[in-house]
Amino acid sequence: MIFEPVPPFFPSEYRVKFATNRFELQGAEDLRRQVFCEEQHIFNGHDRDEIDCHAIPIVALTSLGIVTGEVVGTVRIHEAEPGVWWGSRLAVAERYRKVGALGSALIRLAVSSARARGCHTFLANVQSQNAALFRRMHWQTLSELEIHGRPHHYMQADLDFYPPLEDAATGFSARPRTIAA
């Protein structure tokens, strides 16, 4: 008897929220190491820096009803000066990149939660291959630059498209636009 391989399972929704417990914080750190050190080879060993001391980590978690699965996406935000916020270290696990909703949901929570904390300017240095996603989400390129030997876009969010979100610790559900294969 020949068995067909079982297709990979992808949840029908994801929880996007501030990382509030050790499991979520460790998952975000592990995912960043996987993407920025092992996959992209931008950093050696880890990608932590001084911003991590005061940044707010955000995670995307697989969601199976009321049960949380694994951390499959992350980004961090921080206030650089009063009202000026930055997003950085956006990462989605390779297997989940085709889901189609995780990167945009992480960006939406990042900007909307910063708006609820007094943000009047939200900025990011975005790897060039991701700039189109940010443009679709109402960001504009202010300039192009090179960071860690890779082309980036210095970008700013149009805050009119990001209503303030007060309860970022609970966050929201994100549903995939497509099911990855």
Domain CATH code at residue 37: 3.40.630.30
Q: Which domain holds residue 127?
A: 13-174
Count up the domains in the chain and report the number: 1
The model's pLDDT over 65-82, given as tens digits with 9 standing for 90+, comes to 655 679 999 999 999 999
- What pLDDT is stored for residue 6 in this prediction? 43
179 occurs within a structural domain: no
Q: How large is the average pLDDT for residues 91-106? A: 90
- What pLDDT is stored for residue 9 in this prediction? 57
Indicate if the pLDDT at residue 146 is higher than 50.
Answer: yes
181 occurs within a structural domain: no
DSSP 138: T
Indicate if the pLDDT at residue 10 is higher than 90.
Answer: no
Give residue for tokens 């991701």: 130
Residues 24, 71 contacting (CB under 8 angstroms)? yes
Indicate if the pLDDT at residue 121 is higher than 70.
Answer: yes
More confident of the two residues 142 and 99 = 142
- As a whole number of angstroms, the distance between CA 62 and CA 57 comes to 16
Amino acid at 23: F
Nearest to 29 by CA among 67, 2, 55, 8: 55
For 26, the 3-state DSSP assignment is: helix
122 occurs within a structural domain: yes
8 occurs within a structural domain: no
159 occurs within a structural domain: yes
Residues 104, 137 contacting (CB under 8 angstroms)? yes
The torsion of the CA quartet 34, 78, 149, 60, rounded to 10 degrees, works out to 30
Residue 181's pLDDT band (cuts 50, 70, 90): very low
Indicate if the pLDDT at residue 151 is higher than 60.
Answer: yes
Q: How large is the average pLDDT for residues 127-142? A: 97
pTM summary value: 0.90
- What pLDDT is stored for residue 104 in this prediction? 95
6 occurs within a structural domain: no
Max distance between CA atoms of the chain, in angstroms, equals 66
4 occurs within a structural domain: no
- What pLDDT is stored for residue 100 in this prediction? 73
Residues 63, 173 contacting (CB under 8 angstroms)? yes
Measured CA to CA in angstroms, residue 33 lies from 25, 28, 29, 147, 177 at distances of 12, 9, 6, 18, 27
Strands (E), the chain: 13-18, 56-64, 67-81, 84-92, 121-127, 139-147, 150-157, 172-174
37 occurs within a structural domain: yes
- What pLDDT is stored for residue 2 in this prediction? 62
The model's pLDDT over 17-55, given as tens digits with 9 standing for 90+, comes to 999 999 999 999 999 999 999 999 999 999 999 999 999
